[in-house]
A = this chain, B = another copy of it.
Amino acid sequence: MSNQFKLTILGSGSALPKKDRFQSAHLLEAHNKLFLIDCGEGMQIKAFQTKSNLSRLGHIFISHLHADHCLGLVGLISSLGMTGHRTNIEIHSAPELENLLKPQLDFFCQDLGFDIIFHPFNPRKKEIIFEDRTLIVKTLPLKHRVPTCGFIFEEKPKERHLIPEMIEAFNIPIKELPLIKKGGDFITEDGEIIENKKLTRDPSPSKKFVYCSDTLFLPKIVSDIENADCLFHEATFSEEEVLRAKKTYHSTAKQAATIALNSNAKKLVIGHFSSRYPNIEKIIDEAKSVFPETIATKDGLQIYF
């Protein structure tokens, strides 16, 4: 389905990568566009492994300036340059990132066939940081050891569905249809008003994807992220480490599930697992005990919604 969203996990690990869990990186495909959310070291390699075609990549969103969320950027850009990428790369992040990358970009990434455009945002404010014909991306301030944002990807309200029999019955000319799809009434030659609700059905609901990067358990975000079709929430620790989670400004799996439950998410995706866990069975079980519709990430996993 063309309006399906696809989330590819390129890195499900946390600060310390493991052999099978790279650092944070997520690829969101929506409306034929590709968005990269965080870019840990080795992201470009995982993109190869998952056969992700990056030629349509244009916008990159960096949740916060910790090494495990952004050290893959220069390598990615260097490789995009070598493979003839033509789409500008626009990087949305806290302001400091530009100065951190600039010396390396200037040195290692010359003669690119595209521009690199930095769009700094204030991680302490809720802002709309991207908007096109079909999508809006907003920041969601979180609470971590450094200024950190989640991101809310929302489809704009869609057009109403025409009821073909009614369009035919009223003999409505094609040129009127775009306005009717947008909710307009139809006025016949005789001046009769045919109400839109007779001609159309409600549009498909708009999709919402929420990405909650590294954060302390933060119940107050619930009102901002309600009814997500898919909520990604970090779950660095198991409930046994709830104090360590608090101390390091991270969440447990149960806390992630609580956010999903209280915000009425349809699906919860957890990741950013601490390298201390040889396997994450326990973490999954803890989340599912609160929110059964939980999916645990692993590198290469693709989730459709």
Which A residues are within 8 Å of any B CB, using their own CB? 15-19, 22-23, 41-42, 44-45, 48-49, 65-68, 71-72, 74-75, 78-79, 82-83, 96, 99-100, 103-104, 107-109
A273 to chain B, nearest CB (A): 15
Cα separation A79 to B275 with both chains bound (whole Å): 12
Chain B residues positioned under 8 Å from A104 (CB to CB): 67, 71, 100, 104
Cα separation A22 to B71 with both chains bound (whole Å): 16
Chain B residues positioned under 8 Å from A22 (CB to CB): 42, 45
Cα separation A19 to B66 with both chains bound (whole Å): 25
Query: Binding site of A, secondary structure by majority: helix, strand, loop or mixed?
Result: helix
Chain B residues positioned under 8 Å from A66 (CB to CB): 108
Shortest Cβ distance from A106 into B: residue: B100
Checking B15, B18, B45, B99 against A17 with a beta-carbon cut-off of 8 angstroms, the contacting residue is B45
Chain B residues positioned under 8 Å from A99 (CB to CB): 103
Assess the B16–A67 pair: CB atoms within 8 A: no
Shortest Cβ distance from A73 into B: residue: B71
Shortest Cβ distance from A104 into B: residue: B100
Query: What would be 23 A-B contacts, judged by CB atoms less than 8 Å apart?
Result: A15-B79, A15-B82, A16-B79, A16-B82, A17-B45, A17-B48, A17-B79, A18-B45, A19-B45, A22-B42, A22-B45, A41-B41, A41-B45, A41-B72, A42-B42, A67-B74, A67-B109, A71-B75, A71-B78, A71-B108, A96-B107, A99-B103, A100-B107
Chain B residues positioned under 8 Å from A75 (CB to CB): 23, 41, 67, 71
Cα separation A79 to B41 with both chains bound (whole Å): 11
